[in-house]
Amino acid sequence: MADSVEDIRPRTMARIAGFLYLGFIIATAMANVVGRMGIIVDGNAASTAANIIAKGARFRIGFVSDLLSALLFLLTAWALYTLLKRVNSNLALLFLLFNMCGVAMQCFSMILLYAALPLVSGGGFLDAFTTDQLNGQAMFFLALYKAGFTGAQLFYSAWTLPLGYLVFKSGFLPKALGIMLMLDCLAIVIWCFQFFFLPGNPAVGCPCWVVSFIAEFSLTLWLVIKGIKKECA
């Protein structure tokens, strides 16, 4: 039985990181599909409010899934830090700090997301506002959430650069994974800048999401299925 994290075998830690990453991906997908898809209608406050009220349980499940995904992502970064600090402890600490900043910003943004629920539900002191005013405020908070979530991606893009470099230099993970993760950094930056500077051209960011998914899902599958090379286990 291991007495500390240091006693955990590298192959075991690689698998732990892989399953945590997989859990993060599943929780994120659930948050988007269950909690927001078919509920939030861009530019239509009345329809969005009606959907949140009618599908309040789904909205809450999506919010909790978002919180869970943030926790799992932070734990993933910790596991990868533990695995890769032997390659370069300073760079491993750097990607862990970038991840922590991104998670903190994402969690703050999720509070803004949840604020839409009590606003559209009304009641109590909110009776001082008209329905249209409450719906408008709800859309305002949803817009702030989207901006905050997108801003958090800059920290998430920054974490993939040292992560990718360490994977590339590790010797116990495929170099191709490291290259894809470093490309992922550029892809996320492009998508983030498109959101803020070219909001009318969302198609620009679509290829970036594809690159990001391939890079991170490939790392996840490799860690879950292969772990690391036997001689480094």
Query: Tokens 């590298």 correspond to what residue?
Result: 10
Q: How many domains does the chain have?
A: 1
| Rounded Cα gap, residues 91 and 47, in angstroms | 47
The residue segments making up the domain with residue 173 are 9-227
Is 90 inside any structural domain?
yes
Question: Is residue 7 pLDDT above 60, yes or no?
Answer: no
pLDDT (tens digit, 9 = 90+) per residue, 78-112? 999 999 999 999 999 999 999 999 999 999 999 99
- What mean pLDDT value characterizes the chain? 90
Is 232 inside any structural domain?
no
Average pLDDT over residues 38-55: 89
Is 2 inside any structural domain?
no
Average pLDDT over residues 179-192: 93
Average pLDDT over residues 166-193: 94
pLDDT of 1 reads 42
| Rounded Cα gap, residues 170 and 88, in angstroms | 9
Average pLDDT over residues 143-163: 93
| Rounded Cα gap, residues 159 and 41, in angstroms | 32
Is 4 inside any structural domain?
no
Question: What type of residue sits at position 82?
Answer: T
Is 51 inside any structural domain?
yes
| Rounded Cα gap, residues 96 and 151, in angstroms | 18
Is 83 inside any structural domain?
yes
Summarize the chain as % helix, strand, coil (round to 5): 85, 0, 15
| Rounded Cα gap, residues 203 and 207, in angstroms | 8
pLDDT of 232 reads 58
Cα-based torsion angle of the residue sequence 110, 101, 149, 161 in order, rounded to the nearest 10 degrees = -150
pTM of the model: 0.89
Average pLDDT over residues 174-193: 94
**123 backbone dihedrals φ, ψ, rounded to 5°:** 90, 155
